[in-house]
Amino acid sequence: MPKTGFHLAQVNVGRIVAPIDSPELAGFVEQLPEINELADRSPGFVWRMVDDEGQDATGLRPDGHDDLFLINCSVWESVEALRAFTYETGHLRVLSRRREWFTRMVEPHQALWWVPAGHLPSVAEALERVQLVRDQGPGPEAFTFRSPHPAPDEAAAPPAAPEAPDGLRTPSRD
């Protein structure tokens, strides 16, 4: 993938089924260091949001009235890099057990959006993007894995060479 002047920001919010220090969440909490370390050394990883303790984001409570409401936010070089970490690494092990630890949310609870390389999103900015998906559905300002949008400079670039749509790219022949 060509590097662009934009990075992909990602946020998902979720409501845990019991307090973070409860036995119900122990299986989740004990895997966090390994999974975060895996993210940190994954290709295309740029940054992830952490709380004051600096290890992970489980200390952040974006809704001050709800002690079970957690946020997870990170920045990647591309959609492909984030997708590979999310679904093609040990992270999938945690993801497949999500319903043991997180309540199913009826409303959309995640968003992807492009930020200028170097920009690190705030909690407020991330929550706004989730709200955008909720209010307007996926669009260029806030989208999802299922309906991705290209980075602004990719979208603006002149069509130099015909390119197959996502998923149909042939492997390079070098």
Phi, psi dihedral angles at 75 (to 5 degrees): -130, 140
- Distance of closest approach, residue 94 Cβ to another protein, in angstroms: 9
| Closest C-alpha to 37, from 58, 55, 52 | 55
Between 1 and 92, CB nearer to another protein: 92
Using rule CB under 8 A, residue 93 touches another protein: yes
HEC secondary structure over 31-58: HHHHHHHHHHCCCCEEEECCCCCCCCCC
CB of 97 to another protein, least distance (A): 7
The residue within the footprint of another protein, chosen from 24, 66, 88, 153 (CB under 8 A), is 88
x/- mask, another protein, residues 142-171, rule CB under 8 A, reads ------------------------------
Locate 1 and state its tokens.
């993938």
Name the one range near another protein by CB under 8 A: 38-46, 49-57, 88-96, 121-129: 88-96
3-class SS of residue 83: helix
Cβ–Cβ < 8 Å for 70, 19 = no
User: What are the residues binding another protein (CB under 8 A)?
Assistant: 86-90, 92-93, 95-100, 103-104, 173
